[in-house]
């Protein structure tokens, strides 16, 4: 029923080895033979069985993607970048949602290995000890996109959150901000630490401090953002740095709904820069992370590992910009 390499060989009066060579673009085939084989392939509508190929060659041209939540705008934009480059290099992607749960991440990781993927892209704001160990013992290359893996000796692609935070903080101070809040999230522990460092550096340079009560976290959703705003309502800051856009928008609407003027009384800057930032009024000022590129460069890096190309730098830092829109003065 299904056409196999053997059928093609018989019909073309060559051996299956020759058909295999033609299919794989091996140059050691006489042009005539090649043509004949290609004709038969077309005639029989032969399509190589990737599974058999994978078993024989030990390469599946499939990569695994571990992602916290594909319906999260931030991650889905990364995913699109990943996927486009994977396609460009003829890889398919198996995508699995981890909800940022170390147990699930571990299980997915092992499942991917048993599927014999050629490489794995890990997305997630936190590299847990378990995952770190799995990565370092992995038989296939792993690249982290969106989080810095340098300290954990893991190849990665991201932006310099600390520097971005410094720039943002200084700008806000220049605009008169004195009392800051930091709104972090469960998804992005690493980025949060970096932002915190950057924020604190500049604050102390200016003889300011971040009150403990104004260092808040939430699940990085819109609703959580509104909740976070409630928590700081009685001790209102005049500037908020938020890791997540959705959460920042929650804070923004919480403020507006309470009659607080943005940006006059409260300035807000977010660090995600999903397409949401332009879709609210006032538009959200944000650090521009090149999300698509972070995904794309991560996948490109992975292909280099998979092809055993030379790697100049395993921890890529992509440039960022800051766009001051309607939520800052």
Partner DNA sequence: TTGAAAGCGCTAACAG
Partner DNA sequence: CTGTTAGCGCTTTCAA
Q: Which residues here bind DNA, judged by CB under 7 A? A: 2, 4-6, 13-18, 20-21, 23-24, 27-30, 32-34, 46, 48-49, 52-53, 55-59
State the number of binding residues for its own copies (CB under 8 A).
Answer: 48
| Burial (CB count <10 Å: 0-12, 13-18, 19+), residue 250 | buried
From 110-118, 187-195, 262-270, 319-327, span contacting its own copies (CB under 8 A): 110-118
CB of 72 to its own copies, least distance (A): 8
Q: Please identify, using beta-carbon distances, which residue of 166 and 285 lies nearer to its own copies.
A: 285
Least gap, CB of 235 to DNA (angstroms): 59
* Residue 93 binding partner per list DNA, its own copies, none, with a CB distance cut-off of 5 to 8 Å that depends on partner kind: its own copies
| Site for its own copies contains 92 (CB under 8 A) | yes
Q: How many CB atoms lie within 10 A of CB 84?
A: 13
Task: Compute how many other C-beta atoms are within 10 angstroms of the C-beta atom of residue 28.
Answer: 6
Build a one-symbol-per-residue string for 249-288: x at contacts with its own copies by CB under 8 A, - elsewhere.
x---x--x------------------xx-xxxx-------
Q: Name 41's Cβ contacts closer than 8 Å, sequence gap at least 6.
A: 8, 19, 22, 23
- Give the separation between CA 8 and CA 300, rounded to whole angstroms: 35
For tokens 């200016």, the residue is 206
How many CA atoms lie within 13 Å of 55's alpha carbon, on the beta-carbon side?
4
Alpha helix segments (H runs only) across 175-235 = 189-205, 222-232
> Which residues between 30 and 69 bind its own copies (CB under 8 A)?
47-52, 54-55, 60, 62, 69
Decide: helix, strand or coil at residue 216: strand
DSSP three-state, residue 49 = coil
The site for its own copies (CB under 8 A) is made up of 2, 47-52, 54-55, 60, 62, 69-73, 76-77, 79-80, 83-84, 87, 92-97, 110-111, 113-116, 139, 222, 246, 249, 253, 256, 275-276, 278-281, 292
């Amino acid at each position: 029923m299904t056409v196999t390499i053997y059928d093609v060989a018989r019909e073309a009066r060559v051996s299956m080895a020759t058909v295999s060579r033609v299919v794989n673009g091996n140059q050691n085939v006489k042009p005539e033979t090649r043509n004949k084989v290609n004709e038969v392939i077309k005639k029989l509508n032969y399509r190589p069985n990737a599974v058999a190929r994978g078993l024989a060659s030990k390469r599946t041209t499939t990569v695994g993607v571990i992602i916290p939540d594909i319906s999260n705008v931030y991650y889905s934009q990364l995913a699109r970048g990943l996927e486009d480059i994977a396609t460009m290099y003829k890889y398919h992607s198996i995508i699995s949602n981890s909800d940022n749960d170390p147990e699930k991440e571990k299980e997915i990781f092992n499942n991917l290995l048993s599927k014999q993927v050629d490489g794995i892209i890990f997305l997630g704001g936190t590299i847990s000890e378990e995952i770190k160990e799995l990565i370092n013992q992995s038989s296939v290359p792993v690249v982290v996109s969106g989080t810095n893996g340098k300290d954990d000796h893991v190849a990665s692609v991201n932006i310099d959150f600390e520097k971005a935070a410094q720039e943002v903080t200084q700008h806000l101070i220049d605009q008169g901000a004195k009392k800051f809040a930091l709104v972090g999230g469960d998804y992005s522990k690493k980025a949060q630490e970096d932002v915190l460092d950057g924020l604190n550096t500049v604050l102390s340079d200016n003889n300011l401090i971040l009150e403990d009560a104004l260092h808040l976290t939430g699940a990085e959703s819109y609703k959580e953002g509104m909740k976070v705003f409630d928590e700081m309502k009685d001790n209102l800051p005049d500037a908020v740095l938020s890791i997540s856009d959705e959460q920042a928008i929650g804070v923004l609407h919480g403020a507006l709904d309470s009659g607080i003027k943005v940006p006059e009384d409260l300035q807000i800057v977010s660090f995600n820069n999903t397409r949401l930032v332009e879709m609210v009024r006032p538009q959200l000022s944000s650090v521009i992370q090149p999300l698509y590129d972070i995904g794309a460069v991560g996948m490109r890096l992975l292909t280099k590992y998979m092809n055993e190309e030379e790697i100049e730098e395993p921890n890529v830092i992509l440039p960022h910009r800051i766009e001051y829109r309607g939520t800052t003065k």
